[in-house]
Amino acid sequence: MKSKKQPGRVKSALLNWLGVPISLTTGTFWQEWMGTSSSGKTVTVDKAIMLSAVWACARLLSESVSTLPLKVYKREKDGSRALATDHPAYKVLCKQPNGEMTPSRFMLMLVASICMRGNAFIEKLMIGQKVVGLNPLLPQNMVVKRLDNGQLQYTYTDKNGQRIIPVKNMMHIRGFGLDGVCGMMPMMTGRDVIGSAMAVEESAAKIFENGIQNSGFISAKADINKEQRERLKQNLSSFVGSKNAGKVMVLEGDMTYQGVTMNPEAAQMLESRSFSIEEICRWFRIPPFMVGHMTKQSSWASSVEGMNLLFLTNTLRPLLVNIEQEIARCLLANDEDYFAEFSVEGLLRADSAGRAAYYTTALQNGWMSRNDVRRLENLPPIPGGDIYTVQLNLTALEDLRKNNQATRASALLELHNQLFPDISFEQSPLKQAA
């Protein structure tokens, strides 16, 4: 009887340790936790994040999005927009998603889940029909299944057991995927690329562990017995490793040592590590220079503003739109006049001279007021600063002609009143001359 219950105990212990709601016979289990790349390295999220390139890419995306202000707006009848501070979604998105997280920490975890596991799951905490909180869930603990009736079923497992979360209480943000149900997991799809990088890093670490030297061999003119071999091996063990570099080795008898040296550059170790960084950046769609890989910087924009614009357009923008539309679908579905939007102006801010030129153009063309500019610079409004102005030299030619005629007529009328106060302007010689 004990032998029959043992597999169940092992299975339960493994599931509790791993924290995943799947059985050992499920293929997803072995793909997620026992996936072996072509290089022979087992690739998991926890191991992949130890690579500096993966860490830097995931952290760059997560922290960049988490620092962008996210606001909920209401469309006005005149086409403008106003902050919807009274909407329930405004509080949970912009003030406090739940009792433990700030908006920045909440968004950081959400984007990190998309980057590393291709999906982000958020449970809506409801009181009646009102959303009062957002609880992020661990993607590795979630199972998504398409039922026979076409609906999705979300099954979540944690320390309290397994439960099915209603679709109306779920906000599921998917990364890039092909089936529309779940996003594809980068650590699984890019297993060979990340596994190769892990193998290269381990090889480089082993080389430095051995004092940047490979193993060598000892030759003797005469045959040595087993006892001598063991004694020799034990004596030489104190010279192995980088911490023993520089020690003087004393050999017995007529023995000689000949080391097998290897130039890391000749073995393309440095090139392989550099290529691995570029490959990982390609998977995350991150410009290599933004994670400290500067060898290809010359092929990108030379100014900070240009780099930020490339990063915003090609990397962040698809992710931001994905999150915005999912918020509109799940949190603002009953209010078509409301929408959520990230403010990306902070990424586009250049130096003082660049901002001054930008604001000057906005003020001279009348699409920003002086108080609009002061708000962007975190300055208080000023009286009369809400007036929109334009330059006179940009007035239409027809309007200039009419203004000139009106000015001339006004000047003639004033001159007539001074010279001929007793007659009307219609009988004035000045009008006849004009």
Q: How many domains does the chain have?
A: 2
Looking at residue 153, its pLDDT comes to 92
C-alpha span between 272 and 221 (Å, rounded): 41
Mean pLDDT of 255-262: 64
Q: Is residue 269 part of a domain?
A: no
Quote the percentage of the chain above a pLDDT of 70. 70
Residue 20's pLDDT band (boundaries 50, 70, 90)?
very low
What is the span of the domain harbouring residue 428?
395-433
Q: Which of 244, 260, 276 is the last residue of a domain?
A: 260
Residue 13's pLDDT band (boundaries 50, 70, 90)?
very low
Q: Is residue 101 part of a domain?
A: no
Q: Which of 229, 260, 291 is the last residue of a domain?
A: 260
Q: Which of 235, 260, 285 is the last residue of a domain?
A: 260
Q: Is residue 61 part of a domain?
A: no
Q: What is the pLDDT of residues 74-96, one digit of tens each?
A: 988 877 788 889 898 999 999 99
Residue 346's pLDDT band (boundaries 50, 70, 90)?
low
Q: What is the pLDDT of residues 394-425, one digit of tens each?
A: 666 666 666 777 777 777 777 777 777 777 77
3-state secondary structure (DSSP) of residue 136? strand
Q: Is residue 83 part of a domain?
A: no
Helix 317-330 and helix 103-117, axial crossing angle in degrees, nearest 10: 110
Question: How high is the mean pLDDT of the chain?
Answer: 77
The answer on pLDDT for 188 being more than 70 is yes
Q: Is residue 404 part of a domain?
A: yes
Q: Is residue 296 part of a domain?
A: no
User: Pick from 314, 322, 372: which is nearest to 342 by CA?
Assistant: 322
User: Pick from 50, 53, 51, 49: which is nearest to 289 by CA?
Assistant: 53
pTM of full prediction above 0.85: no
C-alpha span between 364 and 298 (Å, rounded): 36
Q: Which of 66-70, 237-241, 370-374 has the lowest mean pLDDT?
A: 237-241
Q: Is residue 227 part of a domain?
A: yes
Q: Is residue 106 part of a domain?
A: no
